[in-house]
A and B are shown apart, each in its own frame.
Chain A
Amino acid sequence: MSKELQRYLLTRFGQFLLIIFVAVSINFIIPRLLPGDPVQTALARLQTAGGAQNVDIQAVSASYRAKYGLDAPLIEQYFNYWMDLFRLDLGVSFANFPEKVSTMIANALPWSVGLLATATLIAFVTGSLLGARLAWPGAGRGIKTLVPMMMILTSIPFYLLAIILIYFFAVVLRWFPPAGGVDTTRIMRMDWETTADVLNHALLPSLAIILGNIGFWALGMRSQMINVLGEDYITFAEAKGLPQRRIFVWYGMRNALLAQVTALALSLGHVVSGAILVEVIFNYPGLGSLLYVAIRGQDYFVIQGVVLMLIVALAVLLFIVDLIYPLLDPRIRR
């Protein structure tokens, strides 16, 4: 490993740690900046929201007070907060007392990761291929008409696309289920029927995410390809008489993809934000819906836990993209 690569990886790792540090600190500070006792406020709101009729408020409040040590000095509270995080202890849900927040997140996470990872990957790959094709001078008239359509799809928030998709494909045509992750009566097993059911439910939400993102990748790739195709090495490759296909893929697309990967890293936050709302609209059993239910029920520590989880997951993803980058760009590897 060369000096430059080491330096690159170290800065990226530092950035990764910094994001996590900032996120945890924000999550710690915001509730404490507000006047009043956070536990009291949360419980009072919970009661007005009507989510806690069956819960012994005294017991919940006592357990929180003991655990968070709200009487201790702030710096000690901050230290305890970090210690709890390292033990993956995110507290207990108010609304589903005494279920652990970490268990709730662990149950929801696979749904979100499965939906988002697949949809983003499909959108990225097909969008990039389509964009590259659009930039090629030989692109036909038919494919060119896709550009304005892409622009429209990109500019509409994709959770609104989700509403339109549900209406047409689940309410009017009844081709797909309108909500949920599986049939409510299904017992989860590792067999073909369960898989088919899960896929059937995942199709519409993933379609919303794919449709909403594909234009972004296609337009980005198109403008990158136009830049790359103007470079001298492309002219040189043509002068050498290389086959068009080879120039297109190995000289054009390979270089244009670098900027796409950077854009992927920068837009992941945006994609995740939109996907949260898509999950809410489809009532999909992932982190987004968990967050929504928690907001509705003022379930304070679930909100904090999910938000923290989202930020950390995104930081990890970004770090992975950063690790992949040197494999694509030999200039960093050198």
Chain B
Amino acid sequence: MNRFFVSLRRNYEQGRISGILVLGLAILIAVVLFGAIGSLFVDPINATVGAVRPRRPPGGDYFLGTDSQGRDMWTLLIYATPNTLKMGLIAGFIGVGFGTVLGLIAGHFGGVADAIIRVISDALLTVPAIAVLVVIAGNIDRMSTLIMAMVVASLGWMFTTRTVRAQVLSVREKAYVEVARVNGEGPWEILFAEIMPNIMPYIVASFVGTVSGSILAVIGLEALGLGALEEMTLGNTIYWSQQSSAVLRGYWWWWGPPIVVIALIFIGLFLTSVGFDRFANPRLARR
């Protein structure tokens, strides 16, 4: 543990840990803690339909007011935030895992496998993701947060594949890979023991990007009414507020707080990814 702090301090002094990274992580941790700690103090029953008096503005008994179906917005927000983050994280893990394996294979083995993977990922990158996801999600009868995460992950691997493939191509020409090859290590051993650890920073960086993209897609699908409508999520809250014309009727406390939380999540992820780029690539930090 002590060694960890020493290296942390050294990195900080070298300017690799920027204020941006710290700020981004702090925002994300605050959002996570909001859901984790908040749920200790509120009763989830208040976030179900008809639990409290509908259409109350913020203040008094209801800190953030209530929606027109009689749900307490504060409770709803506390339970919706972790659900939305969870979907983004699961989709991020699946997408990055799948993308990394494909990128490693494409970069390391080349040939036909590389050509097929590259062509498909390039084609899918240019397709408007929401259009394809709408077709998939619209065909699923019983939507749940897990299925939603998998649907979104199905189009969340291409950037990782591109990044990993490009990095493998440069790393595999390095001397230590050559040494390993001469020492008689097999192709899979070289791939996972020599190449993969060296491109880890890029995989982590693309994980942040993939999580952000996944949350964006999840909220988009939910706002269109394609999510698991009975679950408490930020996207569903936006959907229900749109369904009840909350904007035109002036119920700002219905759509305002979820937008603020969503904005905080995206700003946190964005700052983290910018800050992490500087951490992984020290040349950027000097600018």
Chain A residues with CB under 8 Å of chain B are 15, 18-19, 22-23, 26-27, 30-31, 34, 151-152, 154-157, 159-160, 163-164, 166-167, 170-171, 178-179, 226, 265-266, 268-270, 272-274, 276-277, 280-281, 291-292, 295-296, 303-304, 306-307, 310-311, 314-315, 318
Contact partners of B223 in chain A: CB under 8 A: 159, 277, 280
A266–B224 touching, CB < 8 Å: no
Contact partners of B250 in chain A: CB under 8 A: 171
CB of B247 within 8 Å of the partner chain: yes
Contact partners of A151 in chain B: CB under 8 A: 267, 270-271, 274
Contact partners of A156 in chain B: CB under 8 A: 259, 262-263, 266-267
B262–A295 touching, CB < 8 Å: no
Contact partners of A166 in chain B: CB under 8 A: 247-248
B20, closest chain A residue (CB): A151
With A22-B124, A274-B220, A295-B225 known, 17 other A-B pairs at CB within 8 A are A19-B127, A26-B132, A30-B136, A156-B263, A156-B266, A160-B238, A160-B263, A166-B248, A269-B126, A273-B130, A276-B131, A291-B224, A292-B224, A292-B225, A295-B138, A303-B138, A311-B128
B133, closest chain A residue (CB): A273
B248–A171 touching, CB < 8 Å: yes
A307–B131 touching, CB < 8 Å: yes
Contact partners of A296 in chain B: CB under 8 A: 225
Main secondary structure of the interface of A (DSSP, over half): helix
* Chain A nearest CB, measured from B2 CB (Å): 36
B243, closest chain A residue (CB): A296
A303–B134 touching, CB < 8 Å: yes
* Chain A nearest CB, measured from B84 CB (Å): 12
Chain B residues with CB under 8 Å of chain A are 119-120, 122-132, 134-136, 138-139, 216-217, 219-220, 223-226, 238, 242, 247-248, 250, 252, 255, 259, 262-263, 266-267, 269-271, 274, 287
A27–B126 touching, CB < 8 Å: no
A163–B126 touching, CB < 8 Å: no
Are A277 and B224 CB-contacts (below 8 A) given A34-B139, A272-B128, A311-B128? yes
* Chain B nearest CB, measured from A13 CB (Å): 13
A314–B123 touching, CB < 8 Å: no
* Chain B nearest CB, measured from A265 CB (Å): 7
* Chain A nearest CB, measured from B261 CB (Å): 11
A157–B220 touching, CB < 8 Å: yes
A26, closest chain B residue (CB): B132
> With the chains together, A299 CA to B214 CA distance in Å?
26
Are A159 and B259 CB-contacts (below 8 A) given A273-B129, A296-B225, A310-B131? no
* Chain B nearest CB, measured from A148 CB (Å): 10
Contact partners of B271 in chain A: CB under 8 A: 151
- Partner of B131 from the list A160, A292, A311 (CB cut-off 8 Å) is A311
> With the chains together, A164 CA to B256 CA distance in Å?
8
B262–A266 touching, CB < 8 Å: no
Contact partners of A160 in chain B: CB under 8 A: 238, 259, 262-263
Contact partners of A314 in chain B: CB under 8 A: 126-128
Which of B139, B226, B262, B269 lies at the interface centre, i.e. has the most chain A CB atoms within 10 A of its CB? B139
B132–A307 touching, CB < 8 Å: yes
Contact partners of B127 in chain A: CB under 8 A: 19, 22-23, 269, 311, 314
